[in-house]
Amino acid sequence: PAAGSAGFALDEQVSREARALRGTPRFSQATSDAELGFPAGANQFSCAADIDVDAVKTPALYRLLERSRIDASAATKAAKNQYQRPRPFMVNGEPTCTPDDEAGLRKNGSYPSGHTSIGWAWALILSEIAPDRADAIQARGRNYGESRLVCNVHWQSDILEGRFMGAAAVARLHDNAAFNKDLLTARKEIADARKAGLHSSRDCAAEEAVLKVRPESAL
């Protein structure tokens, strides 16, 4: 959105609300959500999907999430390079939840959000292979992107466009034979885990409570 526009006014409003969450459990969750590296990143949706993702026990699901992370991230690069939008912390001068990453983030455009693209792609994929958990997974996809607002590294409009990019990436992946093969195998892995009575080992009640806190004006 252009400076002075209604869209940018909303970006600024949401940013103020998100920054007010610094020092709260929601900020700590946002810091955790910033981690995309595997194996840790594989379980960002563990509670939502109610399963522990493991390279040995659920190899197809692990592979599916790891590969789609790369694709969903790549989908945002051309726009990032084109717009080179300054990130919120570069404008408001306040810290982020990942200070060690700030130097690199300054060189990486804010629009659209790569983390949100990845999170929304994961939400769509997991909803397809674990439809019994679709509502929780979709909610996690939304608040995963909103963690970038709380981290002070993205604007609201970056998040919204990131969702579109993630959805577009998944649509393209459905034309890929290897993706579809992993999708079917991952669905079976989840079904087998359900039959065995396996669940996420995380403190999901605590995570759910924390993630209910969000910037009031966020879309």
Residues forming the active site: 115, 148, 154, 158
**Distance (Å, whole) CA 190 – CA 61:** 8
Residue 177, SS3 per DSSP: helix
Residues in the chain: 219
Phi, psi torsion values for 122, nearest 5 degrees: -60, -40
Peptide bond into 39 cis (omega under 30): yes
Angle between helices 204-211 and 25-33 (to 10 degrees): 110
**Distance (Å, whole) CA 123 – CA 135:** 10
- Rg of the chain over Cα atoms, rounded to whole angstroms, equals 17
DSSP state at residue 41:
G
Residue 30 · residue 101 · CB < 8 Å? no
